[in-house]
Amino acid sequence: MENKNEDMHYVPVFENGKYFNKLIPLTAGEKEKEYRANKKGKK
């Protein structure tokens, strides 16, 4: 199944005294890192 949010990822954001996951666009560097990690993880 295709991941439609390839260019987005969740990051924990601390706001109003609690953490929540915020969907943010990946930077090119993060995309590269995530791509490598995903390649490593999927065998």
pLDDT at 4 over 70: no
Residue 3 belongs to a domain: no
Give the 3-state DSSP-derived string for 1-27, with helices as H, strands as E and coil as C: CCCCCCCEEEEEEEECCEEEEEEEECC
Residue 21 belongs to a domain: yes
Residue 2 belongs to a domain: no
Pairwise pLDDT comparison (3 vs 14), residue with the higher score: 14
What digits encode the pLDDT tens for the residues 10-40?
Answer: 888 888 899 888 888 877 777 778 778 878 8
Q: How many domains does the chain have?
A: 1
Q: Taking the C-alpha atoms of 25, 30, 36 and 40 in order, what is their torsion angle to the nearest 10 degrees? A: -80
- pTM (2 decimals)? 0.33
Q: Pairing state of beta strands 8-15 and 18-25?
A: antiparallel
Residue 33 belongs to a domain: yes
CA 31 centroid distance within chain: 8
Residue 14 belongs to a domain: yes
Q: Tell me, what's the pLDDT at 17?
A: 92
- The parent domain of residue 19 ranges over 8-41
Q: Within 13 A of 16's CA, how many CA atoms are on the CB side?
A: 1
Residue 20 belongs to a domain: yes
